Amino acid sequence: MEEFIGIGCYKTKTMGIAGRLKQQPEDFIVEEVSPDGFLEFGKDSLSSLNQSPLDFVHCTLEKKNWDTMRAVKEIARRLCVSQKRVGYAGTKDKRAFTAQRISIQGVSIEDVQKISIKDIVLRDFSYENDSIGLGSLDGNRFSITIRNCEKGADELKTSVDSISESLKSGFPNFFGVQRFGTTRPITHLVGRLIVKGDFEGAVMAYLAKVFEGEGEGAVEAREFLEKTRDFKEALKVYPKNLGYEISLLNHLAQDGSDFRGALRVLPDGLKKMFVHAYQSYIFNRSLSMHIENELVVERLPLIGFESTPDEFTEKILEEESLKPGDFRISGLSELSSRGEIRDCFVPFEDFSVLDAGVDELNEGRNKITLRFRLNPGVYATTLLREFMKNEYWL
């Protein structure tokens, strides 16, 4: 997967425990830690909730096999409101059990309580004056089962303890594969084309680039569009679950040359994610290069038009035929990015082994369940890769 999306090496040299993640959704539990308290999956976790009507309804969103943006889109559709009225502090994994707080503007608790969606639960309702956004999150707690391990239970515990000790000073703060897409790692590729001003290339990459592992119907539809460029006919063959692609096709069926306008029909969060994913890809590559060269680095830029690149980031930009100013995107100014700074090594807290033993899903193999807490914006899969150290893990 393009060198693990820019992740070129590991920090620790000890042997890992191998294994596989996410063999079933309940293997990956994510519980948000917010200023209001700790969200425990499956329980009413908060107390003293305000029931006097105010501008925003806050509630806990529990989901299974939904990514956050699609869940928010469906909730907004059921309430007949714009997605822009639904706020959340961060996106959560799709193939997982996750719990997070969301806010919805201009509705009542009674309206939200009427929503019934498969594999989504809404609870812990309150009225508040403010929406939930990126600053509303204190961190996430993860309870994750690693399956299909060859080592015995005692050996797994010993290896995990050793690796955990070696990472006490922090682990590399790479962006995880979810940032780029697991089945279709396309997000940063689309972002690269947007930054280069190639809106047609960006749209066609998102619509038509094929990756192994996607469903047969989706692959055939993408191949058809790549071959024919017939947007109206493509609408007839694209699977209905590809909602974002269908939105693009509906626009292009009316004006087959307006690729900039097609991008504008996508939700703001998704459009911005393209550029953010490309910035993340560059960051991952730069951090890998620092580690490979055994250079100490505390922080690196998420490159933008106001950023000063370090030596390796500058080299990457030269290879990509780009400069920081290109992140001021002409024609789609809402996707422009000033850039920011990201820590290169980060801690994990409250680490424990919850269980280790026979893996009932994989005969003759064992499993281990780990629990830990991470700060906002830090990827659990990146930490887990330090423990597992195998190529085929997701």
Nearest to residue 237, comparing CAs of 221, 215, 222? 221
Catalytic center residues: 93
Contact 163, 14 (CB under 8 A): yes
Q: How far apart are CA 187 and CA 192, in angstroms?
A: 9
Q: How far apart are CA 326 and CA 345, in angstroms?
A: 28
- Tokens describing residue 35: 């200023």
Q: How far apart are CA 87 and CA 279, in angstroms?
A: 23
Contact 209, 189 (CB under 8 A): yes
Residue count of the chain:
394
Contact 159, 12 (CB under 8 A): no
Q: How far apart are CA 84 and CA 91, in angstroms?
A: 15
Q: Which amino acid is at 334?
A: E
Contact 317, 278 (CB under 8 A): no
Residue 241, SS3 per DSSP = coil
Contact 357, 142 (CB under 8 A): no
